[in-house]
Amino acid sequence: MTADRDTTEPAPTLRASKQAFLSAAQNDDPEAFGRLVDPYRAQLHAHCYRILGSHADADDAMQETLLRAWRGLQRLEQETALRAWMYRIATNTCLRLIERRPKRILPIDYAPAADPHGYPGDPVSEQLWVEPYPDLQLGLEDPSGPHARYERHEAIELAFIAALQHLPPRQRAVLVLRDVLGFSAKETAEILETSPVSVDSALQRAHKTVDERLPSRTEQATLRQLGDSELSELVGRFVAAWERNDVDAVISMLAQEAHLTMPPLPSWYRGRSDIAVFLRGHALSAAKRWRMAPTSANGQPAVAGYLWDERSQRFTPYCLYVLRLRGAEIEEITAFVTPEAFARFGLPSAIGSR
């Protein structure tokens, strides 16, 4: 049998073609610039999201990063330096944005748990909340360097993103560059225009803060233990229970001290009994009709919730439920009441009646 011909472009030839793109881009060829930076777009966007905690802010940071890269391209001598150079621009762009915008948090860090018998409160509309991130946008990020501490999906989990936001901005950047992307202390120092000693010191302080806020086990470890079949069955049960407004069935799936948060609403609830009271009085009251669509966000199982709209006679986007599991139980439901986010997840704009 004849072996398949290897069509992989040899590394020297590939490097030569990329160097040709760099030369063309430096001669004001926007198409060459696009081909040069396109392989880095997804990973740079995820990088900006990790630092900023917001998909919308990451969009802004990416636009500014690409503009600065285009304007400063003459300073880049070799294509092999492109990756570190792009991360340098993106990281410093994010640090400038942080100076002008409030810290992103989740409701648990905003106020104490609410009384489930009361009114859930009005949305806090200012740019305050950590936002969900579509897994489909992660793309095929480049392999992390030897210094990386977290795997790609661990470093996008909601708990990790929320913990990062409690770090001072430069500590946040150091931790992501070192522990997620695997840059060395020397490379990180060059990106941030500081010394390797300062990088190591910042990283040590960052580890202490983040480790205190992270769950004892990552979501990725839980998902691997469950396996695809059991996870699919669990999400299916959650969807079916929610669509039939079966509060008891939903509660039976929760850990005893589960949390339910609903950004941009500041109210959140702790424990099965309080969550049950809230669901019966609000989200799963008899007046509500739901259709649910499984998806994924932040490396975690998620479900898009569509609420019946009498005017259009359709189920319309309402809430994205991101689940954090502990074994086969749901430990936390982060319900993002942000219907505008559905488009980012490739979700339909409405679901017809059935």
149 neighbors 179 (Cβ within 8 angstroms): yes
Helix or strand or coil: residue 259? strand
Helix or strand or coil: residue 345? helix
Six token digits for residue 261: 């948060």
- Measuring CA to CA, how many Å separate 334 from each of 56, 155, 281? 18, 18, 18
CA distance 234 to 241: 11
What pLDDT, in 10s, does the model give residues 296-341? Answer: 999 999 999 999 999 999 999 999 999 999 999 999 999 999 999 9
Q: Can you list the domains of the chain with their CATH numbers?
A: 15-101 (1.10.1740.10), 219-352 (3.10.450.50)
41 φ, ψ (degrees, to nearest 5): -60, -50
What is the residue-averaged pLDDT of the chain? 90
Full-model pTM: 0.91
* DSSP bridge pairs for 321: 303, 335
What does 243-309 look like in DSSP terms, one character per residue?
HTT-HHHHHHTEEEEEEEE-TTS--EEESHHHHHHHHHHTTTSTT--EEEEEEEETTEEEEEEEEEE
102 φ, ψ (degrees, to nearest 5): -70, 160
Six token digits for residue 348: 């339909």
CA angle 161, 209, 192 (to 5 degrees): 70
255 neighbors 331 (Cβ within 8 angstroms): yes
Which of 8-17, 32-41, 267-276 has the highest average model confidence (pLDDT)?
A: 267-276
- In the chain, pLDDT over 90 holds for what percent of residues? 75
Helix or strand or coil: residue 269? strand
CA distance 123 to 195: 43
- Please count the residues of the chain: 354
67 φ, ψ (degrees, to nearest 5): -65, -45
Mean pLDDT of 269-291: 96
Rg from Cα positions in the chain? 23
What pLDDT, in 10s, does the model give residues 167-219? Answer: 999 999 999 999 999 999 999 999 999 999 999 999 999 999 999 999 999 99
What pLDDT, in 10s, does the model give residues 4-34? Answer: 333 444 445 545 577 788 888 888 888 988 9
More confident residue, 103 or 238: 238
Helix or strand or coil: residue 216? coil
Mean pLDDT of 117-124: 87
Does an H or E element contain 305, and which? Answer: strand 300-309
Helix or strand or coil: residue 150? coil
314 φ, ψ (degrees, to nearest 5): -145, 160
Contacts of 79 (CB under 8 A, 6+ apart): 15, 18, 19, 21, 22, 36
